[in-house]
Structure 1
């Protein structure tokens, strides 16, 4: 799982997310078979770098015992919220408007090293409630059972969304004599998490500030709309019920396991071996032009180093040099992230102000939660450790597996602890890790435990959990500026997905007009946008605001203005474009919503093309007017790089596939390779379905010289590749290392030839029109390199001794 890539300890470009394939895709046929450790690599010495006698035991602990194993920074305290028998193997949760917890319980995940019975439908969506108000959840209701590995749960008007290993569902929530039961229960997207290995599937359904639901390990977003509403440009309706209709649209491919957002609506995510990354721009800002699809860069918020409280030899590649600290007081502890989980931007009101807005990432392989300060720069985000050389929260209990974090209704931080001995899935498990698991009996007592903890500021009691269903819509309006983001986000969802009339719209406008808090105004503006109630006066008022992000938000929601207001809106965008960076970026993007804004695009290009995203924002905002824009320019206005981008608009789509130029048998191999790339081989989890790559994770595959040489590509596929490498004019230097397939018994030489055919003939690559990389090439290279046990580097291919 993404949170579970106990990985390859930072040694893979394969990202993981927590989810198995469906029973129909991968039947549980290994029930009685001896374990096959698919993670083993030929030539690797599975040595115990830490003698077994020196490794602490890992017994099952009671909640009381587990609490004594935590180490937290001064001022913080850890408290139990729920534990077995009220919750089992939680992996994701959501709070409804009453403050109840809806939890996805993955109760069959890896009970032993063989994953015996994993695909049996025994997972649940359960509801946890605090009936006596003491802050601990004491009531459990199994709302839906018999689910194969549930991985996602989210709240929506009238019910919940949840996902199993393949599909996204809607389940209507009914209250019958005080007991929750499902009413209407239907599939809304059958392909939500289809394909891929157990560790590489879509998850999350985060309700974003712009009222879209976003997902990790996905390039798809969803929005709930009234039945009579128009379908947004670029979206399609995929489902409707008596409450609403659901539309689906494309978005940037992002993340691995879990998503979070800040007060501006920007998204944060992570990869298995890379902690939280943040996007400087609003979602889809660079996706307005159908012929232009640049990478949406996500910036690393701090480094990869971790500081566990106990030894961590129980990681998949713990036997390899550099994975564990070799000596000294930290001997045996994990060096870098290898199993980053659901990251979070803390937006509660329980911690002191200096901690508001910090970025948090759990590391379940190292039994800790790390904290970083987000630093805003020009066109980029960065970060630094809040506690240098230390962590916010650590445990000496090896079974403590924090896999998700949540801002809670009481203002504190909730930690989802799967409490599980085995973290790495069988598809990637090494015999080294299997032995570690057996030595400490981590393959016993799994799937019957689970915990949820509260991290609270010791001097500030957790607030009472409010029941927002007992409030009127006018009272919801008053919560749009609440100090606790959970309350304001929930109030916005209730208003937008409900039936708000003119009185509510007027109340929202009054609320933001009377507020001086940026997050309140921003939240209110997106509420108006969700209610289809944006007007010119409101946009004009806030476009002139002193706060950059309020002005940026006003421009973004102003894109919904009716055509009659476009002339006045265009004038406001020009004023914004002249207000300097970063407002000019949004002005250039928002031009896409109107006609006749080429002067704005020209101004931004002239003054900001050398700043981050300057060219990209202009080209995105041009939409269908690129030709007219080029014609409007005078000599000298177009620099070489911008000219190249403009001249190649739309061509990538035409050149994306060279399939039509292949013979019929090679087309069949291409199709098989595409299936493997997005499925069993899991290449797409890091390189993306569209080959764009991900910053900090994997390089782009567009027009790359790395696929031209069939011998070199075969070597990389078999044995992997470690950065830095150069692709075109750019250097990609990622902390993770691409693993090879040489030891994968489930991936044949024919399969690798198929993957190579797909890569060599996609994304502007057209290498097989006259020839082909055949299965025999893979086989020959495999035989010639059978002694190799380490991934290649770029330097290896500058030497004739490649086979060593």
Structure 2
């Protein structure tokens, strides 16, 4: 029951049908196949020759099979080695035979002769089932192997002392809809895509906290620590504010400035026909030359922070699209705390390949300033759960299943320019010096190594960097390095709160949750009050978020700060949502209080509070799901694996993915309109309970599961009966015979339904 075509984008799905449900002029995959050449396996050198790269750049091979096979993620260590996650067990054929076999692994790649090409591969971990992410930290590594997250100490490049960090890291959801990323961010927390959890190592203890639910496959950050990610059909989403703020109110389904569309345009420009996409039979998915029109597998984004490409590329967002065999470049700009982006080119891409098996699934900055590309290199990238008969036939007719033992890592570099990776040492003074390096990846790695060393002798030189306000980026890294070492003091932070440079002031505000305590909260509260009263509009949302950290020590003062902001910014959605983030279970009382002063219900603060209060009312009957799970066990299991990651565990929908099931007229209404949605999918806008949902608020397409032989009509009937009676829903049971009747009625149908079509069913 997902409204979004899932992109565990490595798995990149070729599967989104966007806004048109008309039949393609090409009636079947065979007709399309005859119009293009087959897709032979190419050597890395041959594949590079098929790549069209922006003028002035070149693609260089870094690693290939047999050193890596089916790579999906990579991470650099301080020795210049690449740690790679190989997911060789993903989709061995169109029915996923053997996908549960322990063939996945984590390997360490090394360049022993210094020529820039990895020539040695050491297996660090093997016998893994669908591993998906890693993170190097201290003398160990986090490894995500669903559903668990493990931590291993590293001794002589061998794993020892295996420890369970989170038994439910990737609980629920299928392979396309599970957390990934394990991205170690500027604020010293580890964030994930497709997840609302963040992690932090504190001595021998691991902290796990709630954060905003973000993205699908891949996550990155800019120079100021703001996170960026995407869904399969959305070019780029991101946060306007520091990632650790504003997720405190569990009643608040979305917070303005988080999970925000950064780039509006989702157009892509392949250089070859791309018929091998899940909805390629539908008009509007492919153009007249059989090339993909819009993103259907956006994934693995990276904000370029290297020093090799030139100033025009600094802070650009690069996004992989494996179903169209390309990498897009977006130019990002700031205006205050608002972030906007646009595609760098029209009618072309930064990199696009004629090789159909080129599947870029992740992108990374590197120690030499190059942009690194993880290429899964294979034919099948659509998971069996959503595989349409059209694409299954395409795979068969064009021999796309084999081989499965390929994988490449490339780097993109300026032409005729030799890049040298930075060499790291264990010397604390030299690591502090590297915080000033022009390569943002180097600055981040130096920060992490300093924190991992726990060497507090770094405090004095770090504090010196805080004094150089003319150089914001080294200052920012010094600030967060001190935070990570636990040596940051009030005398370090207070002067930064008074800086005119917004980038510095923003970081000082962002670090406050780490330093506010019982003994110093009053001076920080005074500073925040002064900033609020001085009409610091850029700081206003941050001040509202930070009231949460004043509240435990002086609830009255915290509330007065919220009231001041409410009075000053009643029509600012970012301030309004930041205020509400402090009000868990107090929303109605606060609404009643401010209505006495601000009775206008059209004010943003009043509208946003009203919505949260309405969402709370919807969630009151959520306890009935346990009873329903016993009544419909298979239905509950399918809901957890297929539906909840987009529609939410409470059925109230997830921003950028899917609309609510709770209270939905489609779920509770005519079963003859509901069953076709699940069997064949739904495309385009949909009106639920009087509200019309369309992209980017939700994904443009929900795939059907009727073609998946894994689910019987009885299974589908169970999940439908489950959601029709979960939460506040109440509707008649659906039987296997009901599902079979609809399947028979539309037995020759491939295309998804539109809302207009469904409304015509009587």
Give 3-state SS (helix, strand or coil) of 1:442's partner. Answer: coil
Query: How far has the Cα of 1:49 moved from its partner?
Result: 7.3
Report the equivalent of 2:715. Answer: 751
**Cα distance in 2 between the residues matched to 1:555 and 1:444:** 53
Deviations 1:767-787 (A, max 9, x none): 32x865666665665566667
Give 3-state SS (helix, strand or coil) of 2:462's partner. Answer: helix
Query: How far has the Cα of 1:85 moved from its partner?
Result: 2.7
Query: How far has the Cα of 1:91 moved from its partner?
Result: 0.9
Q: Does 1:608 align with 2:585?
A: no
Q: Is the 8 A contact 1:129 1:138 kept in 2?
A: yes
**Cα distance in 2 between the residues matched to 1:429 and 1:644:** 41
Report the equivalent of 2:454. Answer: 499
**Cα distance in 1 between the residues matched to 2:758 and 2:232:** 28
Aligned with residue 199 of structure 2, among 213, 222, 227: 222
**How many residues are aligned here?**
738
Query: How far has the Cα of 1:676 moved from its partner?
Result: 1.6
Report the equivalent of 2:190. Answer: 213
Query: How far has the Cα of 1:749 moved from its partner?
Result: 4.3
Aligned with residue 647 of structure 2, among 677, 682, 687: 687
Report the equivalent of 1:298. Answer: 260
Give 3-state SS (helix, strand or coil) of 1:570's partner. Answer: helix
**Cα distance in 1 between the residues matched to 2:50 and 2:169:** 39
**Cα distance in 2 between the residues matched to 1:334 and 1:523:** 41
Q: Does 1:64 align with 2:28?
A: no
Aligned with residue 383 of structure 1, among 341, 351, 364: 341
**Cα distance in 2 between the residues matched to 1:290 and 1:444:** 46
**Cα distance in 1 between the residues matched to 2:595 and 2:702:** 47
Report the equivalent of 1:30. Answer: none
Closer, same or farther: CA 531–632 of 1 in aligned 2, 3 Å: farther
Aligned with residue 525 of structure 1, among 471, 476, 479: 479
- In the TM superposition, 1:702-741 aligns within 5 A as 703-711=663-671, 712-727=673-688, 730-734=691-695, 736-741=700-705
Report the equivalent of 1:196. Answer: 173
Give 3-state SS (helix, strand or coil) of 2:9's partner. Answer: coil
Query: How far has the Cα of 1:101 moved from its partner?
Result: 0.5
Report the equivalent of 1:26. Answer: none
Most deviating of 43-52 and 722-731:
43-52
Structure 1 unaligned regions, length at least 5: 14-41, 227-243
Query: How far has the Cα of 1:124 moved from its partner?
Result: 1.7
Aligned with residue 412 of structure 2, among 444, 451, 455: 455
Report the equivalent of 2:151. Answer: 170
**Cα distance in 2 between the residues matched to 1:537 and 1:663:** 52
- In the TM superposition, 1:80-99 aligns within 5 A as 80-99=61-80
Query: How far has the Cα of 1:731 moved from its partner?
Result: 3.4
**Cα distance in 2 between the residues matched to 1:663 and 1:282:** 36
Report the equivalent of 2:317. Answer: 359
Q: Does 1:802 align with 2:761?
A: yes
Q: Does 1:10 align with 2:16?
A: yes
Query: How far has the Cα of 1:687 moved from its partner?
Result: 2.7
Give 3-state SS (helix, strand or coil) of 1:79's partner. Answer: strand
**Cα distance in 2 between the residues matched to 1:115 and 1:290:** 37
Query: How far has the Cα of 1:198 moved from its partner?
Result: 2.8
Give 3-state SS (helix, strand or coil) of 2:362's partner. Answer: strand
Closer, same or farther: CA 505–621 of 1 in aligned 2, 3 Å: farther
Deviations 1:662-699 (A, max 9, x none): 895x45246654432221xx123333444454444322
Structure 2 unaligned regions, length at least 5: 1-6
Deviations 1:573-608 (A, max 9, x none): 122223432210001110110121233212222222
Query: How far has the Cα of 1:621 moved from its partner?
Result: 3.3
Most deviating of 724-733 and 550-559:
724-733
**Cα distance in 2 between the residues matched to 1:417 and 1:206:** 19
Give 3-state SS (helix, strand or coil) of 2:386's partner. Answer: coil
Relative to the length of structure 2, the TM-score reads 0.89
Deviations 1:93-137 (A, max 9, x none): 111122210001122333433444333222221101112222111
Most deviating of 44-53 and 344-353:
44-53
Aligned with residue 113 of structure 1, among 94, 106, 112: 94
- In the TM superposition, 1:107-256 aligns within 5 A as 107-175=88-156, 180-226=157-203, 244-256=204-216
Q: Does 1:281 align with 2:258?
A: no
**Cα distance in 2 between the residues matched to 1:3 and 1:646:** 35
Closer, same or farther: CA 754–797 of 1 in aligned 2, 3 Å: same
Report the equivalent of 2:371. Answer: 413
**Cα distance in 2 between the residues matched to 1:648 and 1:47:** 46
Closer, same or farther: CA 247–279 of 1 in aligned 2, 3 Å: same
Closer, same or farther: CA 671–264 of 1 in aligned 2, 3 Å: farther
Report the equivalent of 1:567. Answer: 522
Q: Is the 8 A contact 1:4 1:340 kept in 2?
A: no
Relative to the length of structure 1, the TM-score reads 0.85
Report the equivalent of 2:274. Answer: 312
Report the equivalent of 1:791. Answer: 752
**Cα distance in 1 between the residues matched to 2:625 and 2:65:** 57
- CA RMSD after TM alignment: 3.1
Query: How far has the Cα of 1:724 moved from its partner?
Result: 1.7
Q: Which has the higher helix share?
A: 2
Report the equivalent of 2:466. Answer: 512
Q: Does 1:617 align with 2:575?
A: no
**Cα distance in 1 between the residues matched to 2:336 and 2:159:** 49
Give 3-state SS (helix, strand or coil) of 2:300's partner. Answer: coil
Closer, same or farther: CA 693–509 of 1 in aligned 2, 3 Å: farther
Closer, same or farther: CA 610–422 of 1 in aligned 2, 3 Å: same
- In the TM superposition, 1:33-72 aligns within 5 A as 47-48=28-29, 51-72=32-53
Closer, same or farther: CA 398–723 of 1 in aligned 2, 3 Å: closer
Q: Is the 8 A contact 2:230 2:301 kept in 1?
A: yes
